[in-house]
Amino acid sequence: MEDPWQKAYDFAVAVARKAGEIRKAGESEIRVMTKSSTVDLVTKTDERVEKIIISSLKEEFGEDAHCFIGEESVAKGEPCVLSDKPTWIIDPVDGTTNFVHGFPFVAVSIAFAVNKEVEFGVVYSCLEDKMYKARKGKGAFCDDEPIQVSDMKDINKSIIISEHGTDRSPEKVTKIFSTMQKILCIPVHGLRGSGTAATNMCLVATGAVEAFFEIGIHCWDIAAGVIIVKEAGGILLDVDGGPFDLMSRRMVSANNELIAKRIIKEIEIFPVGRDDAPAEK
Ligand SMILES: O=P([O-])([O-])O[C@@H]1[C@@H](O)[C@H](O)[C@@H](O)[C@H](O)[C@@H]1O
Ligand SMILES: [Mg+2]
């Protein structure tokens, strides 16, 4: 039987690389704007790269063949609803704050979901020039090398990634840093954060770290990373230990359940609105 999504997967890899090159060209004149807060940055490059990705996909597969969830389209009012229809979930510049500051971790993240299940994901880590990718049931790769999560089961010998996000409300910041302090003092070998969720997920998938968790990320930040972590042998859970929900803006990705459940014990949960929550009137 013909493989229905191989062509889309191969095309997504090519588009991600092209998008990375367009992003690089945008470095020369970065025009910074803000979204939900003064520290939630977006640039004209983010918007331009997303437009080019979406128009390339529409040109290749047909104007109305697929649905799209793009970070910057949603920011401009497009709906963020994951239906059963084939849907591209796109973060054109993951690590925008890094991009603005020249901090060397920026990624293009492109995922493709069918029946609400991520079929494949591509994360192009631009500055490293590494293409992370995975298809459901077919393994995870960095460039063309297979990747595998860490086999570490001892939390005391683990590195954990978390991010503080863009919400600066005191009650949330307190919970974020209290959680980080409790995890650091388990103790673990270290806490890290690249500033881009997509890259953080790939670091779990390659075994460079044992886990990455965050409350407040968006589906476009992690959709590609989800399938890359799973196909590298990792697991995804909600921050309360329940089943992972791509649209919930809460996520624990880890090399195994032992590590995941140990850090979940320390996470101080705070409420965040779902990605697919009805738009406020
Ligand atoms: O906005 P962006 O650079 O695409 O995505 C970023 C995420 O990748 C990161 O995990 C999060 O902590 C940042 O607040 C920001 O949301
Ligand atoms: Mg992002």
On whether 3 is known to bind a ligand per the annotation, the reply is no
11 Cα–ligand 1 center, Å: 25
Which of 146, 168, 203 finishes a domain? 146
Range name among 36-45, 75-84, 245-254 with the lowest pLDDT average: 36-45
- Please indicate, yes or no, if residue 274 is contained in any of the structural domains: no
pLDDT, one tens digit per residue, over 232-244 is 999 999 999 999 9
| pLDDT band per the 50, 70, 90 thresholds, residue 157 | very high
Ligand 1 site, residue 163, Cβ cutoff 6 A: yes
CATH number at 163 reads 3.40.190.80
Taking the centre of ligand 2 as the mean of its atom positions, its distance from the CA of residue 1, in whole angstroms, is 36
> What's the structural domain count of the chain?
2
Q: Does residue 207 form part of some domain?
A: yes
Mutate to test the pocket of ligand 1, among 46, 73, 217, 252 (most ligand atoms within 8 A of CB): 217
Same domain for 142 and 12:
yes
When the pLDDT of each residue in the chain is averaged and rounded to a whole number, the result is 96
Q: Is 46 in the pocket of ligand 1 (CB under 6 A)?
A: no
Examine the fold and report which residue of 112, 146, 180 is the final residue of a domain before the chain moves on.
Answer: 146
Domain boundary among 146, 175, 194: 146
What is the reported pTM?
0.96
Same domain, 132 and 181: no
Same-domain pairing of 250 and 197: yes
Ligand 1 binding pocket includes 197 (Cβ within 6 Å): yes
Q: Are residues 78 and 117 in the same domain?
A: yes
Say if 269 falls within a structural domain. no
Same-domain status, 17 and 84: yes
Residue 25 has what pLDDT? Answer: 83
Determine, yes or no, domain membership for 252.
Answer: yes
Which atom of ligand 1 is nearest to 222's Cα?
8
Domain containing residue 77: 6-146
Residue 279 domain-assigned (yes or no): no
Do residue 138 and residue 169 come from a single domain? no
Statement to judge: residues 142 and 169 lie in one domain? no
- Do 15 and 136 lie in one domain? The reply is yes
* Crossing angle between the packed helical segments 44-61 and 6-25, to the nearest 10 degrees: 150
Domain assignment present for residue 270? The answer is no
Distance between CA atoms of residues 61 and 16, nearest Å:
16
Return the residue whose CA atom lies nearest to atom 11 of ligand 1.
165
Residues 105 and 180 reside in one and the same domain: no
- Report the atom number in ligand 1 closest to the C-alpha of 97: 3
The pLDDT, as a whole number, for residue 197 is 98
Give the separation between CA 40 and CA 42, rounded to whole angstroms. Answer: 7
Using DSSP bridges, classify how beta strands 190-192 and 107-114 pair: parallel, antiparallel or unpaired.
unpaired
Could you list the beta-strand ranges (E) of the chain: 32-34, 41-43, 67-70, 87-94, 107-114, 117-125, 130-135, 140-142, 145-146, 159-162, 190-192, 211-215, 235-237, 250-254
User: 64-106 pLDDT, tens per residue?
Assistant: 999 999 999 999 999 999 999 999 999 999 999 999 999 999 9
Separation of CA 20 and ligand 1 centre (Å): 17
91 labelled binding-site residue:
yes
Do 101 and 140 belong to one domain? Answer: yes
Ligand 1 center from residue 171 Cα (angstroms): 20
- Reference 224, options 7, 18, 9, 23; nearest CA is 9
Same domain assignment for residues 164 and 47: no
ipTM of this predicted complex?
0.96
Q: Is residue 276 part of a domain?
A: no
84 shares a domain with 216: no
Q: Please indicate if the annotation marks 84 as binding a ligand.
A: no
- Token couple for 253: 């990705």
How many Cβ atoms are within 10 Å of 115's Cβ, its own excluded? 11
| Lookup: tokens for 137 | 């049931």
Identity of residue 277: A
Query: How crowded is the C-beta side of 169, counted as CA atoms within 13 Å?
Result: 9
Is the C-beta atom of 221 inside 6 A of ligand 1? yes
Residue owning tokens 């880890």: 254
Tell me which H or E stretch contains 271. Answer: none
The reply to whether 1 falls in a domain is no
Which residue(s) pair with 145 in the sheet? 142
Q: State the CATH number of the domain containing residue 39.
A: 3.30.540.10
C-beta 95 within 6 A of ligand 1: yes
**CB contact at 8 A, 70 and 92:** yes
Which pLDDT score is estimated for 195? 98
Between the CA of 209 and the centroid of ligand 1 the distance, in Å, is 18
Ligand 1 centroid from CA 160, angstroms: 17
Enter the tokens of residue 31: 């025009």
